[in-house]
Structure 1
Amino acid sequence: MMQINNELPTLDSDGDTHTQREILSQPELWGEVYQLIKNESAAIAGFLKPILQISNLRVVLTGAGTSGYIGESAQGTLQKQWRRPVQAVPTTEIVTRPEAVFIRPAPTLLISFARSGNSPESVETVRLADVHCDEVYHLIITCNREGALATMSTANPGKVYCLVLPEATNDKSLAMTSSFTCMLLSALLVAHIDTLQDEFSKVSKITEQGNVILDRKPLLETLAQKGFERVVFLGSGEMLGVAKECHLKLLELTDGKQLCMSDSFLGFRHGPRAFVNANTLVVYLFSRNPHILRYERDLVEDTARDPRNIASLQIGREDQITLSNGHAIALDIDQENPYQMIPVTLVGQLLGYYSAVHASINPDSPSASGSISRVVQGVNIYQEHDAKS
């Protein structure tokens, strides 16, 4: 395996922050997550197999904020693998309109993602599923063994399975980094639980890709230092969820000072493209699917003709498009490897980290006002019967 320089600039005098450790630890953690799921594979398969045999089963993936983007990223892979309708809906939508998500007579598998497992919306969503579904099963993927979601799993062991990831995935910093990639990897591995041995080489591949991206830290720091007014992350399908997460990381870690957005390649043409000005960085997160890639390359080539000479960063396969104001991180892409969206997330994390440090913002606790916190605060949960018509 290649040797990389795992040092990042930091505001701390001892050269250490939670955020930098959590970003840099991810390639190694992915191997640990694979081993954990391999060790629990018999129990996971035993829980899921009878559920997935239910003919009219629907699957709902849920979480809040970053955890919600896990569902968006994993949805397509799970639906293809399980051949069941899979819908990603954030807990922040479910708690206000559960009847718009749950269908009472339809058997439902609710997969909940949560770093702490203590967010009010996450706990309430599990309760609402029990209320609004005649038949519901819960798969909880969390990083906190002592969180409310993890402890709920003991109440009804036949209907609930809780997968608790290694303690190192339970990020101590405000922004979720290793927790996001490790929970996403867990969901994808669970979808391949019957062929888990065949997935080892693919997980090893994304570890290599993660190290390739970490090895390009100087490029990402240089881009952060340029002080772009705006940053855009574009992705298609599974990469759209990753683009949203990259956008959120840059926004969180700069305390909202960096203007940024995310969209799909095709959706970007329909209005949001107006966000781009002459001092914008566009980050292209290319698909592993050659058919989708054709649409993506069309937008890149179209943007390259913009007389403002828009700066760009391409992440993906080695046959990048040559652009006059462009940069690229080339990865050895395998079209059949569903895990390759995971290391790409490091691009947004590193851009966010470097942007914070060079703006003299503490990446571990970037919110100067305290308006955002590691576990969301100030959310009141209201019972439906308490509402006045």
Structure 2
Amino acid sequence: MSYLHFEQGEIKEKGGLNTAMEIEGQPALWQEIYDLILSQKDAIRDFLSPILSNADARIILTGAGSSAFIGEAIAGIVQANTKRMTHAIATTDIITHPHLHFIKEIPTLLFSFARSGNSPESLAVVEQANTYCNTVFHFIITCNKAGALVQSRFPNTYHLILPESANDKGLAMTSSFTGMLLAAILVIKSDIIASLKPALDVLITEGNELLEKYLPQIKAVAEKPYRRVIFLGSGEMLGIARECHLKLQELTDGKVICKHDSFLGFRHGPRAVINEDSLIVYLFSKDEYVFQYERDLCLSIEADTRKIPTLSYNRQLSDLKKSVLEITFSTPADAPNDLAFIGTVLIGQLLGFYRSLSLGLRPDTPSVSGSISRVVQGVTIYTGLVPS
């Protein structure tokens, strides 16, 4: 590993070695996760079949923070593949209003995503689901075999524990995010997992290409004095845009304010956030139909007299005269790219990592005040007064 173009001793001294290794280790981790789920595909099928064979079942994807954004990114993919109504609802929303999110008479499959498995909300929502649903199955995807979600035994539960390298030591979720995201898709498609190997190879190849080819350029962009960064994405890329938004803002301890939106949604008011101190990051879709809408928004912003700088991912548009970087890949146009969107989040991770260092922060522990921590602190779970 290159440790993001730093000598290992130097980056360790700067307080970023864990985060650097976790970002760069993701392509190798993705292969490990594929192999893990391939080895469990029969057990996964046997667990999911009873609930998914019910035409009335629904699926809820839940987690807190980055773990919640996993659900946002893949809700449509899960619904399209299971043909069951699927909703991404954060534990932080369910915990206060379980009666608005669970429907007692509807059989429910609850996917819980958790890096540590020790967030108070994670355990409480599993318990609430058992109370508010007559029939509930839990599929827990976590990076920590010692977490409370694993140690607390619930009926109708499948625990998928990812390799130890997914259990980030740094504050910001990096390998844990992409690891759990990939795992969830492979679980839902476990009956055809062998056919996904070419798509996995594309994901890994593009991840390695980004790390090997673009680090100096990304570092140069990250060190520019942008005060606002906006990430735009469509479909599954919208959830990725939100995670990129959090990564850059989190790793810079809030010194860089970030936003996210869809390309079409950005027109409807949120566009007011851009100014001369902004950078817009376009997370382009590889789908030509979707790209038509994305391109139109880009051309509209290009016409802005304030000359807003932009960064493009997945596409190179000659019309974007104010672009500071275009990231493209050598992947053939006809290559299977069902999983390639997962690697897009690396751009948010890398911008956050390099900007954190340029601000004199320590990427492994960027919160100077200690107001944010690896496992959320200070949450009290109240019982006895929950509406029915």
TM-score range, shorter chain: over 0.9
Partner Cα separation in structure 2 for residue 222 and residue 291 of structure 1: 32
Match in the other structure for 1:27? 27
What is the Cα deviation at residue 7 of structure 1? 3.2
Match in the other structure for 2:221? 223
Partner Cα separation in structure 1 for residue 252 and residue 216 of structure 2: 19
Partner Cα separation in structure 1 for residue 293 and residue 201 of structure 2: 29
Q: Is the 8 A contact 1:116 1:375 kept in 2?
A: yes
Match in the other structure for 1:185? 182
What is the Cα deviation at residue 289 of structure 1? 2.3
Whether 1:284 and 2:282 are equivalent positions in the alignment is yes
Structure 2 unaligned residues grouped into runs of 5+: none
Q: How does 1:250-265 map to 2 (within 5 A)?
A: 250-265=248-263
Q: How does 1:317-356 map to 2 (within 5 A)?
A: 317=315, 319-326=316-323, 327-331=325-329, 332=331, 337-356=337-356
Whether 1:40 and 2:40 are equivalent positions in the alignment is yes
Partner Cα separation in structure 1 for residue 320 and residue 347 of structure 2: 19
Residue 40 of structure 1 aligns to a residue whose secondary structure is helix
Partner Cα separation in structure 1 for residue 50 and residue 327 of structure 2: 43
Percent of aligned pairs sharing the same letter: 48
Match in the other structure for 1:121? 121
Residue 12 of structure 1 aligns to a residue whose secondary structure is helix
Structure 1 unaligned residues grouped into runs of 5+: none
Partner Cα separation in structure 2 for residue 218 and residue 6 of structure 1: 13
Distance 1:131 1:59, change over 3 A: same
Please tell me the residue identity of whatever aligns with 1:386: L
Distance 1:14 1:106, change over 3 A: closer
Q: How does 1:67-78 map to 2 (within 5 A)?
A: 67-78=67-78
Q: Is the 8 A contact 1:8 1:20 kept in 2?
A: no
- More deviation, 330-339/201-210: 330-339
Q: How does 1:1-389 map to 2 (within 5 A)?
A: 5-9=2-6, 11-13=11-13, 17-152=17-152, 154-156=153-155, 159-214=156-211, 215-317=213-315, 319-326=316-323, 327-331=325-329, 332=331, 337-383=337-383, 385-386=384-385
Deviant stretches of 4+, over 2 Å: 4-16, 319-322, 331-338, 385-389
What is the Cα deviation at residue 323 of structure 1? 1.6
TM-score, normalized by length of structure 1?
0.94
Q: Is the 8 A contact 2:283 2:312 kept in 1?
A: yes
What is the Cα deviation at residue 49 of structure 1? 1.6
TM-score, normalized by length of structure 2?
0.95
Q: Is the 8 A contact 2:357 2:363 kept in 1?
A: yes
What is the Cα deviation at residue 298 of structure 1? 0.4
Partner Cα separation in structure 1 for residue 278 and residue 243 of structure 2: 19
Please tell me the residue identity of whatever aligns with 2:385: D
Please tell me the residue identity of whatever aligns with 1:347: I
Partner Cα separation in structure 1 for residue 14 and residue 350 of structure 2: 20
RMSD over equivalenced CA pairs, Å? 1.8
CA deviation string 1:278-322 (max 9, x = no partner): 1211000011322211111100011111111111111114x5344
Residue 47 of structure 2 aligns to a residue whose secondary structure is helix
Q: Is the 8 A contact 2:245 2:258 kept in 1?
A: yes
What is the Cα deviation at residue 114 of structure 1? 0.2
Please tell me the residue identity of whatever aligns with 1:312: T
How many residues get paired? 381
